[in-house]
Structure formats: structure tokens, C-alpha cells
Amino acid sequence: MKLDYCTDLDQEIVCIDTGYGRRMLDAAYLLRQGERAAFVDSGTYHCVPRFLQVLAHYGIPRTNVDYVIPTHAHLDHAGGAGELMRQLPQARLIAHPRAVPHLIDPSRLIAGTRAVYGEEGFRARFGEVVPVPAERVLEAPDGHVLELNGRRLEFVDSPGHARHHFCIYDVRSCGFFTGDTFGISYREFDNANGAFVFATTTPPQFEPKVWQSTIDRLLTYDPKRMYVTHFGCVEDVPRLAEDLRRSIRAFTDIALQADAADRERTEQMKQQALAHLVHRLRAHGCTLPEARTKELLAMDVELNVQGLEVWLARRHKPSRRVS
Ligand SMILES: [Zn+2]
């Protein structure tokens, strides 16, 4: 029997819908090479039973999982890593050097995420965040290469969305696991014109210029596909990269205009961000009812505007560095 939350992609990659939030919102990936396997991104604590079911379904013993690789230390990508590691006795956690301290001691990560979602929202969304034992963690700085049973994975430092973010180039499939660095691309917005992508400017480390440079770097690999966390595999990479670049600029323009207006800045940004996305979706040929479109975008607009507020505050106080 097929698991309805799994999609088999080419080259022994499985896209797993983690179930976080709603259907087709949050993905993790299972990579296989012969007998061995790895997870890229790990959803939240609540998603871990699903990952174990996936292993059972594909007949992969838990001891055959070599790596758990969160792309960055935001909890919809890394919240489940500690619990997943407890269930996978042979696995090592591979993380960006800036993410490692937060995964070993998640207290700051929890506090920061609570500030965004509130106490109740935090519990419902993320449950527990289990620390990862330091001795099971391996840092992957820029240029790091990992072999999964001979399958070559190359790590590229990818700031812009967050400074603790890397992307992973899978040589076998000519694709990048991009976390949030290639933006958000919901499958509900697919149509004859292809996929639709937009930037995620979540707090607190959105850096538009740096992000543009990161996109340059990813494109030097000439990737054929991107495995994005939100949600799934996209092709047509050069066009989507251009759309993403424009989306980053559009969000910063919205923030700068609202900043100049200075009254009801947040509300103005929310309205404009939503109107901008709805307008772009229409131009893309999206025929979903407007109410459904707004429902799909509501949380991202909220988070993007929070991130833009932090970005504006940093511009006003240039001495406040991103940590
Ligand atoms: Zn993120």
C-alpha cells in the first residue's frame, strides 16, 4: 500500500509531506543510496512518527540511516531533528556551523520562535524540541562534501533567508535541497505556466543583498531541479530564480515605502504584501478563488512582514548586527 503523504521522485528521492500546518506545506526528503539512507530536513517533533513509518514502508532499518540534515535551524525544518536522532541510533546530524549551537542547546531557538508564534501557537505547532547530543553532530561548513554510501552531497553556505542556512547539492540528481533559500513554491499555484515562487523574509535574518549573491552561487551549479521545503521539487530553475529575485526586491520595496509613510506601517505592509502576491498570481494565470488564495498565503504574509519589520529596524540601527 502506498503512503498518501509520500511521493517517489527520480534518483531514489522520496518527498515526504511532514503534515506540519496543512497538506503540502512542509516537506522533508528521504535520500537512498543502496542500503543506506539520509533525511534532509526533519519537520517538527510531531512529524517524527511519520518518518519512522516511511522507513518501515520502504523496508529501511532505522540503523541504516546515516544522516539527518536540517537545512537550517528554523523549527519547521529542524524542530524534529533531536527526536528523530533519538530514534536513529547510527545517524549523525549534519548542520551548518551557525546552526549547531542551537541544535545542541535549543533554548534560544525556542524563545525566538515563541516570540513569533506565542506560547500556545508554539506548543501546537512544534511540541517539544529535543536537544541533539553534541558528540553526534558534524559541522558542514561551506565546501563540505559528504558521501552517502558513495552518493556525493556538496554543501553550500547560503545566507539571505537565514545565516545558519546551507543548501545541499546532490550530484546524482543534479538538484539542490534548498530549504527556504529558493523561496516558497506551493503546488496549489501550479498551472500550465508552471510553478510560482515567492521569497520568505521570515525574521530575524532576512538579508536581501546577500540573498541575491546566494542565488548567483546556486546557479553556477546549473541545477536541473530544486527540492524546496515549502513544497516539493521544482524544475525550470532559471525562470524561477529570476522570479525569486524580483520577489525579494518587491518585498523590500514594500517595506521601504511603508517605512517612509510611517503611520500604521505594519498594517500597510501586510495589505501591500498580500495584494502584491495576489496580483502576481493572477498574472501567472492562477484561477483559484481569491478567498482560497488568501487563505494559502495568510501565514506567510504575517511572517514576511515580521521579518521586514526586523530588517527595517536593522537599517535604522546599522550597528545592530545579525547574530
Ligand atoms: Zn526558514
pTM score, whole prediction: 0.95
Torsion of Cα atoms, 211 then 216 then 221 then 226, to 10°? 50
Q: Could you give the CA distance from residue 258 to residue 128 in angstroms, rounded to a whole number?
A: 37
Within a domain: 87: yes
Ligand 1 centroid from CA 76, angstroms: 7
Within a domain: 27: yes
Copy the grid coordinates of residue 124.
Answer: 501546537
Q: Kindly indicate the confidence band of residue 214, based on its pLDDT and cuts at 50, 70 and 90.
A: very high
φ, ψ of residue 104 to 5 degrees: the values are -75, -40
Copy the grid coordinates of residue 268.
Answer: 500597510
Q: What H or E segment, with its residue span, contains residue 65?
A: strand 65-69
Copy the grid coordinates of residue 235.
Answer: 524544475
Does residue 90 surpass a pLDDT of 70?
Answer: yes
Ligand 1 centroid from CA 247, angstroms: 16
Within a domain: 77: yes
Ligand 1 centroid from CA 75, angstroms: 8
Does residue 262 surpass a pLDDT of 70?
Answer: no
Within a domain: 321: no
Within 10 A of 58 (CB to CB), how many other CB atoms are there? 15
Ligand 1 centroid from CA 1, angstroms: 33
Q: Taking the alpha carbons of 238, 240, 243, 249 in that order, is the dihedral positive or negative?
A: negative
247 and 136 housed in the same domain: no
Does residue 270 surpass a pLDDT of 80?
Answer: yes
Ligand 1 centroid from CA 78, angstroms: 9
The residue-averaged pLDDT of 271-277 equals 96
In b/e form, how buried is each residue of 292-318, taking b as 16+ CB within 10 angstroms? ebeebbeebbbbbbbbbbbbbebeeee
Higher pLDDT, 203 or 140: 140
220 and 256 housed in the same domain: no
> Which of 238, 271, 300 finishes a domain?
238
Within a domain: 322: no
Q: Kindly indicate the confidence band of residue 316, based on its pLDDT and cuts at 50, 70 and 90.
A: confident
- pLDDT 10s digits, 63-84: 999 999 999 999 999 999 999 9
- pLDDT 10s digits, 52-62: 999 999 999 99
Q: What is the mean pLDDT of the chain?
A: 95
Copy the grid coordinates of residue 40.
Answer: 534532509
Task: Tell me what pLDDT residue 318 has.
Answer: 63
Task: Tell me what pLDDT residue 131 has.
Answer: 97
Within a domain: 1: no
Ligand 1 centroid from CA 139, angstroms: 19
Q: Could you give the CA distance from residue 281 to residue 160 in angstroms, rounded to a whole number?
A: 24
Domain containing 191 — which CATH number? 3.60.15.10
Does residue 28 surpass a pLDDT of 80?
Answer: yes
SS3 22: coil
The residue-averaged pLDDT of 250-255 equals 97
Task: Tell me what pLDDT residue 323 has.
Answer: 46
> Which of 211, 238, 265 finishes a domain?
238
193 and 206 housed in the same domain: yes
258 and 203 housed in the same domain: no
Residue-number span of the structural domain to which 122 is assigned = 6-238
SS3 4: coil
173 and 49 housed in the same domain: yes
166 and 282 housed in the same domain: no
Ligand 1 centroid from CA 161, angstroms: 7
12 and 155 housed in the same domain: yes
The residue-averaged pLDDT of 238-244 equals 98
Does residue 253 surpass a pLDDT of 50?
Answer: yes
Portion of the chain with pLDDT greater than 70, in percent = 98
Ligand 1 centroid from CA 71, angstroms: 9
Ligand 1 centroid from CA 197, angstroms: 15
Within a domain: 323: no
Nearest to 148, CA basis, from 177, 183, 182: 177
Ligand 1 centroid from CA 162, angstroms: 7
> Which of 238, 259, 287 finishes a domain?
238
Task: Tell me what pLDDT residue 115 has.
Answer: 83
Q: Is residue 183 a contact partner of residue 249, using CB atoms and an 8 Å limit?
A: no
249 and 234 housed in the same domain: no
Ligand 1 centroid from CA 156, angstroms: 16
- Total domains, the chain: 2
Cα–Cα distances (Å) from 187 to 53, 197, 227, in that order, read 24, 10, 12
206 and 263 housed in the same domain: no
Sheet of strand 65-69, all strands in order from the earlier edge strand to the far edge: 6-9, 13-17, 27-33, 36-40, 65-69, 92-95, 137-139
Within a domain: 221: yes
Q: Could you give the CA distance from residue 270 to residue 302 in angstroms, rounded to a whole number?
A: 7
121 and 93 housed in the same domain: yes
- Sequence length of the chain is 323
Ligand 1 centroid from CA 204, angstroms: 10
Does residue 43 surpass a pLDDT of 70?
Answer: yes
Surrounding ion ligand 1 within 5 Å at CB are 74, 180
148 and 249 housed in the same domain: no
Within 10 A of 141 (CB to CB), how many other CB atoms are there? 11
293 and 183 housed in the same domain: no
